[in-house]
Structure 1
Amino acid sequence: MATTTQSAHETGEPSGNWRAGVVGGSVGALVMGALVLAMNPPTLAVAIPSLYTLAPPPNPGLGMVVHVSHGAVLGVVFAALVGALDVERPTRLVGAGIAWGVATWIGLAALLMPLWLSAVGSPASPPFPNFAPPSLLWHGAYGAVLGAVYVATEDAL
C-alpha cells in the first residue's frame, strides 16, 4: 500500500508590485512637492533637506530630490502592505493609498519629523507634535496619487 503526502509551501514570492509602488510613490511625491511649493516653500526648501543636514541654505531642488526619494521608498512599503492584505480592487487601492498618506502624515510628518529636525538642530524645526492641516492635505494627495498610479501601472510593470 502506497501513501502520498502533499504539503503546501509558500513560494516566498513577495506579493504586491514594488515597481508600481516606486512609480506611484515617486509621482505622488512630485505632486505633493508641487503643493508644498505652492503653499509653504520653506518646508521643501529647508525642512526636508535639513533632515540630512543639507540645508540651510534653502534649496528647493535638493528638497524635492529627498522628498521624491522618501516617496519612492514609502511607495514600496505601500505595495508590500496592499499585497500582504490582498487589496486588489482599484477603488480600494486608491482608498488604501489615501489611508497610507494619512498614516505617513501622523507617524512621519507629525511625530517623527519634528523630533528629527530638532535632533539635527534645523532652523525649520516645528513644535512637537506637528499636526498641521496643510500637511494632512499634502499627504492625502500623495496617497491618492500613489494609489491611482499603482492601479494604472501594477499590471504593466
Structure 2
Amino acid sequence: EDAKFIAETTSHGEVRAHLGRTPRPVNKSQEKEHIENLSSDDDSVHFIIEYQGAKVGHIFIGDLEKEYGRSHVGYFIHPDYHGQGIGTKSLKMVVTYTFETLNRHKIRGGFLEGNPASRRVMEKAGFQEEGTERDYKYVDGEWKNVTWMSILEDEYYD
C-alpha cells in the first residue's frame, strides 16, 4: 500500500515538479522495489505521513553522517492535503526525532524555486536560510535553483 501511495503521489504533476523529477512511468512494483532498496539502506529513515486515517505524505531523514553530526530532510504532501499544517507538524516531529534520538548537530533541507509553501514549512519548523544554489536541477526543460535551509541543535533546544 505504501508503494502504491508513493508511486501515485510522486507521479502527480504538482508534487513531481516540486521534487524536481522528470516524468517517468512509475508503477506499484517499481516503487515497491525502490522502497525495499531504501529499507535496506542504513543511511536513511523514512516515514509515511497519515492524517485522519489516510496516507497523505512521505518524509525522510537521509545522509545520516554520524561522523559529521548532520542529516538531510525531504518530504512531500499530497496536493489534496496542502495548506492544513500537515507538512509543518510532520517536519517538527522529524526534527525532534533527529536531534533527540539520532543526536545530530544539523539538519539541512532544500526546496526548488517556485515552491514558497516549502519555505514556510521549514521556517515554521525553525529552519534558517543558508543560501541558494544556482541551476541545481534541470526540470521540465529549464534549470531550477534550490534554496538550502537548516536548523542547528542549539537553535532547536533554545
Normalising by the smaller structure, the TM-score range is under 0.3
Higher strand share: 2
TM-score (norm 1): 0.28
TM-score (norm 2): 0.28
Structure with higher Rg: it is: 1
Does 1 or 2 have the higher relative contact order (CA < 8 Å, sep 6+)? 1
Higher helix share: 1
